[in-house]
Amino acid sequence: MKLSPEQLADFEENGFLILPDLFDSKEVALLRAQLPAILSEECPENIREKHSGEVRTAMGLHLRNAVFADLVRHPRLLEPAEQILGEPFYAQQVKLNAKAPFSGEVWQWHYDFATHHHEDGVPAPLALNLHVFLDDVTAFNGPLWFVPGSHKHGPAPTSLDTATTSYDLWTVDEDTTRRLIEAGGMVAAKGRAGTALIFGDCLVHGSPNNMSPWGRWIFSLIVNPVSNALTREQRPDFKHHRDLTPLIPTADDCLLNRVSAA
């Protein structure tokens, strides 16, 4: 799966891409079927919401489950990343962001490089965040909100928020966010299950609480060039993997083969 020159220009201009229906319903069903067992585990990789105790984020998925190990090497995710990055990259973080019905909480305004730089000593904002929707993402169940073009203003000032949610995050203040939104507007990243997103390390984004009765499971793979690897190992491996082996795409039908073999 290759991005067109128009898509590459769009990514450059806006800082993100929405790729509708990149995975089909059988592939999504297989991925979804893995999750109840993963989410029921009591382990440090499953980080829970402060108030409800529901899982907010489940990390290290490819080390916990063979189907997610396939997804991390899937050509429909890796080939676009290869086009954008142009050099070998490793799996920095592999997770599910679950926004539970009624109780899934906010992700404050932030961009990922602030965390990658401050926590892990990543030198440059080159990492890409590749998402796959495992639910239909609508106006109601807590879609990501992007600020188009915010990556072009250079890394905005950030501070570490340890209070607002159960996941400490380097966040962007309201004045800066207002300025960026006045310049670029906002886009809610919606789409059917199977839709994918690609966004860069300096794109300002967040997502609201999920007040709806519908869950919102989104898979996220962060890839980072090997040449831009972490220089500090203060966070656990599941938050920034130390295995810098370059990801090599596997077969396009790797998920469907598992379905037909079942």
Interface residue list for Mn ion (CB under 5 A):
112
Q: Do strands 55-59 and 89-99 pair parallel, antiparallel, or not at all (unpaired)?
A: antiparallel
Contact indicator for 245, 99 with CB cutoff of 8 Å? no
| Nearest Cα to Cα of residue 243 among 34, 69, 80 | 69
Question: What is the closest distance, in whole angstroms, from the C-beta atom of residue 217 to ligand SIN in the complex?
Answer: 10
* Burial call 82-111: b when 16+ CB within 10 Å, e when fewer: bebbeeebbbbbbbbbbbbbeebbebbbbb
Residues at the interface with ligand SIN (CB under 6 A): 97, 107, 129, 144, 205, 207, 218, 220
**Partner touching 165 among ligand SIN, Mn ion, none, CB below 5 to 8 Å by kind:** none
Which is closer to ligand SIN, CB of 5 or CB of 201?
A: 201
Question: What is the closest distance, in whole angstroms, from the C-beta atom of residue 207 to Mn ion in the complex?
Answer: 9
**Cβ within 8 Å of residue 35, ≥6 positions away:** 58, 96, 98, 134, 217
**Partner touching 207 among Mn ion, ligand SIN, none, CB below 5 to 8 Å by kind:** ligand SIN
**Partner touching 224 among ligand SIN, Mn ion, none, CB below 5 to 8 Å by kind:** none
Question: What is the closest distance, in whole angstroms, from the C-beta atom of residue 107 to ligand SIN in the complex?
Answer: 4
Which is closer to ligand SIN, CB of 16 or CB of 23?
A: 16
| Nearest Cα to Cα of residue 170 among 124, 217, 202 | 202
**Partner touching 218 among ligand SIN, Mn ion, none, CB below 5 to 8 Å by kind:** ligand SIN
Question: What is the closest distance, in whole angstroms, from the C-beta atom of residue 260 to ligand SIN in the complex?
Answer: 31
Which is closer to ligand SIN, CB of 3 or CB of 132?
A: 132
Which is closer to Mn ion, CB of 27 or CB of 112?
A: 112
E-strand ranges in the chain read 16-19, 46-48, 55-59, 89-99, 107-110, 128-133, 144-146, 158-161, 169-172, 187-189, 196-200, 205-207, 216-225
Question: What is the closest distance, in whole angstroms, from the C-beta atom of residue 149 to Mn ion in the complex?
Answer: 17
